Amino acid sequence: MDKLSALIPAVPLLSAVLITLLAGRPRHMVARLSVGLSALTLILAIALLLLYLGEPRPQWLSSGWGWGGLYLDPLSHIMALMVAGISLVVHVYSVRYMAEEPGYARFYALLDLMTAAILLMVAAGDLVTLLVAWHLVGVVLYFLLGHDMQRPAAQRYAFWSFFTYRLGDLPLVLAAVLLYQAYGTLSLPVLFQQIAADPGAHAALGVPLPTTVGFLVALAAFARSAQFPLHTWLPYTMEGPTPVSALMHAGIVNAGGFLINRFAPVFVHAGDVLHLVFAVGLVTAILGSVLMLMQNDIKKSLGYSTMGQMGFMFVECGVGAFSLAIYHLIAHGLFKGTLFLGSGSMIGNARRHDNVPHDDVYTFVVERKPVASRLPWVVAAVITLVVPFLILGLSHWLVDGDFVGRQGALILLFFGWVTGAQLLFATYRLRADSPWRLMAMIILSLVVVVAGYTAIGHAFDLFLYPDRVLSDRIYAAASIPFGTFEVLVALLTVAVVVGWLATYYAAANGRSRGGQASALRLAFYSLISREFYVADVYAWLTQAVLGLSKRLNVWFRWV
């Protein structure tokens, strides 16, 4: 098992070295070598996971140098399997996609090096190895995004991503320095044991060290996972090759969720930081979801969709559902990677079919179809508000009867209820020949998805955190005073119910369509069309810094 663990990051690294040495060989040989070794990496990851399931005991493997060790726990095993699987798919896809591009061998070497860096990051057993792998991922990503050297936009946004990543590296480096100075060890398992034994033994600037380290780790995760306001690099990296976009959105941008889970024993004693993570994630989820709807470029729309999903992942971390965040990370990685790899086909289909809906007269006279209709809005309103609540509540109660006692679970149920209500409302707005049958099929699909998601999520929680005491302490750390919690839930519930009822009333009376747009709507449209002016603020700050540097150069005669 020890040798297999060391081979997983070593195999793609070997592939990168061999491809560099054989760069002059025919392209098909380079592709076969890289794809073959990627398949071997996936086989090793599967074998290692099966061995762990046979003997579920976390292990720390030391290299004997003080650093370079590996920590083999459920988190590292499941992340290695996901990374190896997605990497193999991207490798196979790139064989034909990059066939006419210059630098074919260089691209595959960088792709293998990226896979090795991510695999080393998820299995790092000490602070130095984690920092090296964390930094290397950002450096290799810069070269992958700027692979096409003839496109200035690709080079510009690749550097933008590189600069943001370097900003995010600084807090993690500082956290590692504080931990080493306080405890005198680089080993992550030993650090976590000492923190658990006496969390208040050390402080930094009068603040308990776990709180300080948790805050720094959260900042590093914010930058890596495109949380507001450090999100602007993500949607603009679409100038890079599509396989890189798929790998980045399926694995690299998820690193923030992994990092928070890796430092879970620290966040047990940093409840205030988890509240900050929740707030930042909530803002990011809302902004990403809104901006996604405004895009006319499919890849940029997917970029903002990823931003929103990363926000939801941080919301899950903020309420203490760490294992659910990892499950979300994996599900989103597989889903978004598929969307990126299929974006070209979507563009081709859109060019052949305009998908412009026809009016009722055209449908009835030309297409000879019955005029579509809707459910009565009162009935639809009741279904929209009640059905998701019953489905979510019953599914969670059947799987885990104690979920009612945890604030985090209730908050996630609330978000699930809002999402389910939104789905049913969108279904209601779609006219159909048989609206009752359409609604019944949507509700059945919702039951299957929610029940499966709940059951798999619960099993995933038991796998990642078999120590139920640690899991309960994470939920407890994320809790807020119960009175405040009840007031917030009541206010949000009333706001959502009133909002849905007002929307249904407006739709029933025909006021949601046509007419002159109000000044408020136009102002809001301008705001989101400019992406909340975040990029403009950064551009202004850039020009201000450059102007100041010019003045300093003149004053001090440096140049």
pLDDT tens for each residue of 16-43 = 899 888 877 787 888 888 899 999 999 9
Phi, psi at residue 532, to the nearest 5°?
60, 20
Q: Which tens digits make up the pLDDT trace of 526-537? A: 888 777 888 788
**Closest to 266 measured CA to CA, from 199, 182, 172:** 199
b/e burial code for range 9-48 (CB count within 10 A of at least 16 → b): bbbbbbbbebbeeeeeeeeeebbebbbebbbbbbebbeeb
Which residues are CB-neighbours of 476 under 8 A, at least 6 positions away? 271, 320
pLDDT over threshold 80, residue 474: yes
Output the average pLDDT for the chain. 80
Q: Which of 77-91, 354-368, 513-527, 537-551 has the lowest mean pLDDT?
A: 354-368
Cβ distance 258 to 79 under 8 Å?
yes
Q: Are strands 59-61 and 70-72 parallel, antiparallel or unpaired?
A: antiparallel
Rounded to an integer, what distance in angstroms lies between the CA atom of residue 192 and that of residue 547?
47
Q: Which tens digits make up the pLDDT trace of 242-267? A: 788 788 876 688 888 899 999 989 99
Number of H helices, E strands in the chain: 23, 4
Which carries the bigger pLDDT value, residue 84 or residue 69?
A: 84
pLDDT of residue 354: 54
pLDDT over threshold 60, residue 422: yes
pLDDT of residue 456: 75
Give the 3-state secondary structure of residue 524: helix
Place of tokens 């396989």: 243
pLDDT over threshold 70, residue 183: yes
Cβ distance 459 to 447 under 8 Å?
no
Token duo for residue 302: 């997917």
Rounded to an integer, what distance in angstroms lies between the CA atom of residue 146 and that of residue 254?
21
Cβ distance 464 to 316 under 8 Å?
no
Q: Name the pLDDT band for 365 (thresholds 50, 70, 90).
A: very low
Q: Which tens digits make up the pLDDT trace of 188-240? A: 888 988 888 888 878 887 888 899 999 999 999 998 888 888 888 888 777 77
Token duo for residue 473: 């302490």
- Paired residues of 432 in beta bridges: 373
Percentage above 90 pLDDT, the chain: 11
| Domain chopping of the chain, boundaries | 171-239+251-356, 370-514, 516-559
Rounded to an integer, what distance in angstroms lies between the CA atom of residue 455 and that of residue 444?
17
Phi, psi at residue 42, to the nearest 5°?
-65, -40
Rounded to an integer, what distance in angstroms lies between the CA atom of residue 337 and that of residue 339?
5
Cβ distance 114 to 163 under 8 Å?
no
Cβ distance 127 to 134 under 8 Å?
no
Place of tokens 């209601």: 428
Token duo for residue 318: 């903020």
One-letter amino acid of 504: Y
CA distances from 118 to 121, 203, 325 (A): 5, 32, 18
Give the H/E segment covering residue 203. Answer: strand 203-204
Cβ distance 278 to 271 under 8 Å?
no
Q: Which of 58-67, 88-97, 373-382, 519-528 has the lowest mean pLDDT?
A: 373-382
Rounded to an integer, what distance in angstroms lies between the CA atom of residue 377 and that of residue 132?
57
Burial class of residue 381 (count of CB atoms within 10 Å of its CB; 0-12, 13-18, 19+): buried
pLDDT of residue 431: 62
Rounded to an integer, what distance in angstroms lies between the CA atom of residue 11 and that of residue 477?
40
Mean pLDDT within 97-109: 83
Residue 442 C-alpha from the chain's centroid: 26
Give the 3-state secondary structure of residue 498: helix
pLDDT of residue 512: 47
Q: Which tens digits make up the pLDDT trace of 491-510? A: 777 877 777 677 666 665 65
- Residue 229 preceded by cis peptide, ω within 30: yes
Phi, psi at residue 295, to the nearest 5°?
-90, 145
pLDDT of residue 276: 92
Burial class of residue 185 (count of CB atoms within 10 Å of its CB; 0-12, 13-18, 19+): middle
pLDDT of residue 362: 47
Cβ distance 155 to 146 under 8 Å?
yes
Cα Rg, the chain, nearest whole Å: 25
pLDDT over threshold 50, residue 364: no
